[in-house]
Structure 1
Amino acid sequence: MDLATLAHACRVAERWGVHPHEVLIASGCIDEATYVSALGTSAGVPFRTKIATCNVAVPGTATLRQCLKTPILEEIAPARRLLLGFDRLRPFDVRTLLARLTQHPVALASPSELRRAMRDHFSPGLVHDAVHMLASRRPHLSALRPAMPWQIWAFVLGCAALAMAVLTAPTATVHAVSICLACVFVPVIVFRLLAAALLARAESPSHERDEDPTPDSQLPTYTILAPLCREAHMVEPLLHALSKLDWPTAKLDIKLVLEAADAETIAAARALSLPANVEIVVVPDRAPHTKPKALNYALPLARGDYLVVYDAEDRPEPDQLRRAHAAFRLGPSNLATVQARLNIYNPDANWLTRQFTIEYSALFDGLLPLLDTLKLPIPLGGTSNHFRVAALKWLLAWDPYNVTEDADLGARLSRSGYRCAVIGSTTYEEAPARLGSWIPQRTRWLKGFIQTWLVHMRAPRTLLRELGLRGFLAFHIMIGGTILSALVHPWFYGLLAIELGGGQFLALPQSVLGLPFWTISLFSLVAGYGAAMALGFLALRRRGLDRLVWQVPLMPLYWLLISVAAYRAVCQFAVAPFKWEKTDHGTAESVARPAYSCRPGRPPAA
């Protein structure tokens, strides 16, 4: 290494608030193992290239957290040496420490190798906690038990009563049920109108700023959890996208969370020359095979004060971490989560992706910012969720049995008194371009909404007390309303077809329930469609997607597809509540990116 590179690294280290060797390792100028080996040679202690997990023990009764904080393991044989893997000490400090440990046999190992050995040593406990911690400590909040007996009986008796009413008085029953459902949807319409009004006054995302004046030297370590499953082809594009994030590289802790049964993705990740801040975490092959279980397994290994989850196809805007950190720093003390906005980078692939884009724009640019403004519970988006790690651990993290773990976690955050905020930075995702991928994905989402609604409605009075009346209603509108509207929507078309076929459409009502039935139903139909389309229209205009505006009138056809997925979700919930249908990614042409490079080079500009 030349002196100019070293001097440049010293300037960058001063700006970042780290040591020069951390800059050189993070930027790929020197290899971590080579650096630690040279450090051991200069101090006169051996270096362990590979640590056999079966040959190490934990000093005393230390926990994983203590081992990660003070990176020490102990060899069982032959010399019972202490294995040290410091990465935040200056070389002189390391030699001073080793000089004080002359009474103990000592060996050095690279920090990443020591963490790998710790992870393997504690793996049985990690996977046990990932699966059972929430269910054992807070069983009333776990989806392990799909439904309570009283909920099952209420559903069965309700269906029986409805069937008897239809058999005895079909017309009156249909009218009465339709009136009740239409009244239930009025709050949903109001929410959409409020979101549309908020959008009409808001600036475009590019003008929204959450500037973080915090200097690089005071920025904390940020952990990125990136779970991948059967996505070997997505590893390089994902790492390329993450490499563009505006955050000191030496303060990024990136973990690729892979499944042990997914040998292809593991091989693809290991084939890359990964920098020191990227680690591969392999989750043992144990049911349930869900994304939240994988995240729970990796969470105790996080080294950052803050954490974000990205999916394989995600393309976050470079400023996202800084804007999230600014929100945490400037927000209230109970702000535990920041949700970035999601949108689509392949909207023009076909009709399905265009409708998906309208849906995402309305949700993440309209409805979720409204919930944030009103300080109401926010169903998180599954990716680009930024957390305070301490708060996430206190909540016992994700529910491994809930297949829409994000919405459930948003509800648990609010029930515990935490806030969630929405920031203007966007993460772009790939929309499924085939029904064969879209239907299973939407089935999983809606099945998770069913799980979430049933879990949190096990004790309705407790939920009302913890969320308050406004939060309680918002929970039902965003979670219950989504399920109910998807299930009921086709029946309105069925009733309309019956009326048209019988020649009774727009005829004078012939029963007591006829007039209110048609009045409320027509209002719900017109106002509901109008509010949803207005919200979609404004969201597209705000995103600069005017070319998709002509697709807005076709939204009802898309809703019928959602209804198909909803009925499939109900059936699947009854027979396979924990089944995780994986969405295929990487099919869009837009996913192509320059290959990720880990070749050595100079540190970033000072």
Structure 2
Amino acid sequence: MRSYITTTEETALIHRAEHRVAARESCRDLNFKILHIALWSLIAVVILTSAFAPAITFLTFALWGTLTLIANMALKLTTAILFLHRGAMASFKYKNRATDTALPKISIMVPLLKESAIVSHLLTHLRQLDYPKNLLWVILVMERDDITTAKTLAGTKLPPWITAIDVPRGTIKTKPRALNYALDHCKGSIIGVYDAEDAPEPGQLRKVARHFAQGDEKRACVQGTLDFYNARTNWLSRCFSIEYATWFRIILPGLARLRLPVPLGGTTLFFRRHILEELGGWDSHNVTEDADIGIRLTRFGYHTELLPTVTLEEANCRGWPWIRQRSRWLKGYAVTWAVHMRAPKTLLRDMGLWQFFGVQLLFAGTLSQFLLAPLLWTFWLAFLALPHPLTGFMPNWAFYTLGGIYLMSEVINIIVGMLACTQAKHRHLLKWVPSLHFYFPLGSVAAYKGFLELLYKAFYWDKTAHGISLATTPTQPPTKPERQHHVSGG
């Protein structure tokens, strides 16, 4: 039946996958001509003003960078205080241990693209999931022209609760398009997403099911905690692990408690199906479909909560692949911000002032930080007794105030990073936290790469290679009997 429908209605299904989200909320109709004109105009203005008034130009951008830095540090400090005050997640006891008959049917979608080394790893961890298999439906989603993955799966015997579907070619090839296509093949009331390299905690789905069961209908999405199984591979993977520990254990739970929009991760995501379909699924053209859907959930009046159930995945531990991955994320942040700011009054009306401010801080503020960071780095010149472009142009007290703010931000980054690494499994990373000073500049390189791509391939999906560190992959330990669990935001 499925084969018949997908064959006879292929054109309609392709169109549905690519246009599921309403046009006003999608980037597919974003006027990139205007965006290109704006970007080129900005570049021209910067070049001209730098030629005729270099000090004023430098000061203007340095002040904007400092302003966004202050806002970012204030948010980071606030989430850190919440972490210290209430722990990583707010305390919450489940009312009872649900029986298998009370558990809902869950569908998990796993997008695959040119995967060979990672498939056996994936299937091993899917089989370890402690959830009744008659209530679990896993869909391996692959592109129809992906010969590599097709050959790998052809030689693999799948259990009856795992199926593979191929997504026909269309106008684009992105992860959200594949998810939209596979959504109609799902069963049950909860939809989840894993990545190909994931190793979820065995008891994860039971926690997710109980958490949804004990929440109201506004609890639309549950985001699990992501961690890395190859944190010890090299310096880059260690820094990446510190960054993720900070993001998923301090910042995201803090955002959920503050009722700010939560930029979702792309995996270990679980949705109430009817709400996901109400939103129109994922924006198939957006290369950070996860962050975008986080904003749309907030616009529709729903909220996301963080659940302390861990999925291990592979840290991108090579320099250029890391930059490529991060450039896609930052490019997607820029596109997502541009989409939702097409009608700022409507966004403000939908969200309210507080959440509207959150969008500006999380998206425009993050982009500003990475793009303007090189200007802030120059303040190290003053601390090294070297001449600075603003020396003599502004009073010494103002100059050293700016430099002091930058220095204080470095201290806050180190404190929050160390706070995120206080758990036993992350303590080996504590001594590496100060080296983040040399890690984040890679993000600026990625930001400039991403902005250049906006000019000529905004929808290009720069895929991350998987399976580089499989030799270091541990097996998730069995889930221990549960006495108390924790959730955030509720």
Query: Normalising by the residue count of structure 2, what TM-score does the alignment of the two structures yield?
Result: 0.90
Alpha-carbon distance, 1:175 to partner: 2.2
The corresponding residue for 1:578 is 459
Alpha-carbon distance, 1:326 to partner: 2.1
Alpha-carbon distance, 1:130 to partner: 0.5
Q: Does 1:471 align with 2:355?
A: yes
Distance 1:171 1:494 in 2: 13
Alpha-carbon distance, 1:522 to partner: 2.1
The corresponding residue for 2:151 is 267
**Residue-by-residue CA offset, 1:339-378 (whole Å, 9 max, x unaligned):** 1111111000000000000010000101100011111110
Give the root-mean-square deviation of aligned CA atoms.
Answer: 2.5
Q: Indicate if the aligned counterparts of 1:179 and 1:516 stay in contact, CA closer than 8 A.
A: no
**Residue-by-residue CA offset, 1:286-334 (whole Å, 9 max, x unaligned):** 2311101100100011111101000000011112112222221222321
The corresponding residue for 1:515 is 397
Relative to structure 1, is the Cα distance of residues 584 and 157 closer, same or farther in structure 2, using a 3 angstrom cutoff?
Answer: closer
Relative to structure 1, is the Cα distance of residues 470 and 149 closer, same or farther in structure 2, using a 3 angstrom cutoff?
Answer: farther
Q: Indicate if the aligned counterparts of 1:232 and 1:265 stay in contact, CA closer than 8 A.
A: yes
The corresponding residue for 1:410 is 294
**Residue-by-residue CA offset, 1:548-569 (whole Å, 9 max, x unaligned):** 1111111011111111111111
Relative to structure 1, is the Cα distance of residues 376 and 593 closer, same or farther in structure 2, using a 3 angstrom cutoff?
Answer: closer
The corresponding residue for 1:221 is 105
Relative to structure 1, is the Cα distance of residues 339 and 559 closer, same or farther in structure 2, using a 3 angstrom cutoff?
Answer: same
Distance 2:416 2:237 in 1: 18
Relative to structure 1, is the Cα distance of residues 162 and 267 closer, same or farther in structure 2, using a 3 angstrom cutoff?
Answer: closer
The corresponding residue for 1:195 is 79
Secondary structure of the 2:222 match is strand
Alpha-carbon distance, 1:146 to partner: 4.4
The corresponding residue for 2:19 is 132
**Residue-by-residue CA offset, 1:397-429 (whole Å, 9 max, x unaligned):** 111111111001111111111111111111111
Distance 2:73 2:237 in 1: 25
Q: Does 1:421 align with 2:305?
A: yes
Q: Does 1:399 align with 2:283?
A: yes
Secondary structure of the 1:226 match is strand
| Ranges in structure 2 where 5+ consecutive residues have no aligned partner | 476-490
Structure 1 segment 375-394 matched on structure 2, within 5 A: 375-394=259-278
Relative to structure 1, is the Cα distance of residues 516 and 482 closer, same or farther in structure 2, using a 3 angstrom cutoff?
Answer: same
The corresponding residue for 1:542 is 423
Structure having the higher Rg: 1
Relative to structure 1, is the Cα distance of residues 468 and 148 closer, same or farther in structure 2, using a 3 angstrom cutoff?
Answer: farther
The corresponding residue for 1:327 is 211
Secondary structure of the 2:306 match is strand
Structure number with the bigger relative contact order (C-alpha 8 A, sep ≥ 6) is 2
Alpha-carbon distance, 1:120 to partner: 3.6
Relative to structure 1, is the Cα distance of residues 170 and 498 closer, same or farther in structure 2, using a 3 angstrom cutoff?
Answer: farther
Residue type at the aligned position of 2:335: Q
Secondary structure of the 1:256 match is strand
Alpha-carbon distance, 1:589 to partner: 3.6
Relative to structure 1, is the Cα distance of residues 562 and 212 closer, same or farther in structure 2, using a 3 angstrom cutoff?
Answer: farther
Q: Could you tell me which of 408, 416, 439 is aligned with 1:558?
A: 439
Q: Indicate if the aligned counterparts of 2:108 and 2:137 stay in contact, CA closer than 8 A.
A: yes
The corresponding residue for 1:4 is none
Segment drifting more, 472-481 vs 449-458: 472-481
Distance 1:386 1:534 in 2: 32
Equivalenced residues, count: 475
Q: Does 1:115 align with 2:2?
A: yes
Secondary structure of the 2:118 match is helix
The corresponding residue for 2:413 is 532
Q: Could you tell me which of 324, 343, 347 is aligned with 2:231?
A: 347
Distance 1:379 1:204 in 2: 18
Segment drifting more, 207-216 vs 268-277: 207-216
Distance 1:400 1:340 in 2: 23
Secondary structure of the 2:225 match is strand
The corresponding residue for 2:59 is 175
Secondary structure of the 1:557 match is helix
Alpha-carbon distance, 1:541 to partner: 0.9
Relative to structure 1, is the Cα distance of residues 183 and 554 closer, same or farther in structure 2, using a 3 angstrom cutoff?
Answer: same
**Residue-by-residue CA offset, 1:236-278 (whole Å, 9 max, x unaligned):** 2111111111211111011000111112211222322212111
Residue type at the aligned position of 2:109: L
**Residue-by-residue CA offset, 1:467-525 (whole Å, 9 max, x unaligned):** 211111111222222211111112222454489675469x9x64456533431x22331
Q: Indicate if the aligned counterparts of 2:88 and 2:250 stay in contact, CA closer than 8 A.
A: no
Secondary structure of the 1:171 match is helix
Residue type at the aligned position of 2:2: R
Alpha-carbon distance, 1:158 to partner: 4.4
Residue type at the aligned position of 2:450: A
Secondary structure of the 1:280 match is strand
Q: Indicate if the aligned counterparts of 1:258 and 1:265 stay in contact, CA closer than 8 A.
A: yes
Residue type at the aligned position of 2:281: A
Secondary structure of the 1:368 match is helix
The corresponding residue for 2:481 is none
Alpha-carbon distance, 1:572 to partner: 1.2
Alpha-carbon distance, 1:202 to partner: 4.5
Q: State percent identity of aligned pairs.
A: 34
Distance 2:453 2:374 in 1: 19
Secondary structure of the 2:311 match is strand
Residue type at the aligned position of 1:538: L
Q: Indicate if the aligned counterparts of 1:311 and 1:383 stay in contact, CA closer than 8 A.
A: yes
Structure 1 segment 424-435 matched on structure 2, within 5 A: 424-435=308-319
Q: Could you tell me which of 441, 444, 448 is aligned with 1:567?
A: 448
**Residue-by-residue CA offset, 1:23-66 (whole Å, 9 max, x unaligned):** xxxxxxxxxxxxxxxxxxxxxxxxxxxxxxxxxxxxxxxxxxxx
Relative to structure 1, is the Cα distance of residues 151 and 264 closer, same or farther in structure 2, using a 3 angstrom cutoff?
Answer: closer
Residue type at the aligned position of 1:533: I
Q: Indicate if the aligned counterparts of 1:175 and 1:513 stay in contact, CA closer than 8 A.
A: no
Secondary structure of the 1:192 match is helix
Residue type at the aligned position of 1:459: A
Alpha-carbon distance, 1:535 to partner: 1.4
Structure 1 segment 37-56 matched on structure 2, within 5 A: none
The corresponding residue for 2:479 is none
Q: Indicate if the aligned counterparts of 2:179 and 2:282 stay in contact, CA closer than 8 A.
A: yes
Q: Indicate if the aligned counterparts of 1:307 and 1:386 stay in contact, CA closer than 8 A.
A: yes
Q: Indicate if the aligned counterparts of 1:313 and 1:429 stay in contact, CA closer than 8 A.
A: yes
Alpha-carbon distance, 1:439 to partner: 1.7
Q: Does 1:313 align with 2:160?
A: no
Distance 2:444 2:95 in 1: 41
Q: Indicate if the aligned counterparts of 2:55 and 2:393 stay in contact, CA closer than 8 A.
A: no
Relative to structure 1, is the Cα distance of residues 159 and 212 closer, same or farther in structure 2, using a 3 angstrom cutoff?
Answer: farther
Query: Normalising by the residue count of structure 1, what TM-score does the alignment of the two structures yield?
Result: 0.74
Relative to structure 1, is the Cα distance of residues 578 and 157 closer, same or farther in structure 2, using a 3 angstrom cutoff?
Answer: closer
